[in-house]
């Protein structure tokens, strides 16, 4: 703490901010990692969760995004601009 700093709870405020800025999934991942670390130290088998399935975009979804992008660029090119 700097001299003249009247906020004695600066460390706690920073900790609260860090916890709020991390997503629930991020906090869960950190907690799982910590549990695995402790289990390794204590010699127990850690609980390993299955990896998350990767999401895939449908062909129709990709086509819609592509069509929207092409329409956007056609509009830009029609005005004579080089950039969006």
In this prediction, the residues of the chain whose per-residue pLDDT falls under 70 are: 1-20, 44-47, 84
Q: What is the pLDDT of residues 58-79, one digit of tens each?
A: 999 999 999 999 999 999 889 8
End-to-end CA distance of the chain: 47
For residue 77, the Cα-to-chain-centroid distance in whole angstroms is 35
> Could you tell me the residue ranges of all domains in the chain?
8-52, 54-84
Q: What is the C-alpha to C-alpha distance for residues 80 and 70, in angstroms, rounded to an integer?
A: 15
**pLDDT for 1:** 45
- What pTM was computed for the model? 0.36
């Amino acid at each position: 703490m700097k001299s003249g700093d009247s906020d004695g709870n600066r460390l706690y405020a920073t900790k609260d901010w860090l916890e709020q800025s991390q997503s629930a999934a991020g906090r869960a991942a950190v907690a799982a990692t910590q549990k695995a670390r402790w289990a390794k130290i204590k010699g127990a088998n850690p609980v390993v969760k299955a990896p998350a399935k990767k999401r895939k975009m449908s062909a129709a979804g990709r086509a819609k995004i592509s069509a929207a992008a092409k329409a956007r660029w056609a509009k830009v090119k029609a005005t004579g601009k080089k950039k969006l």
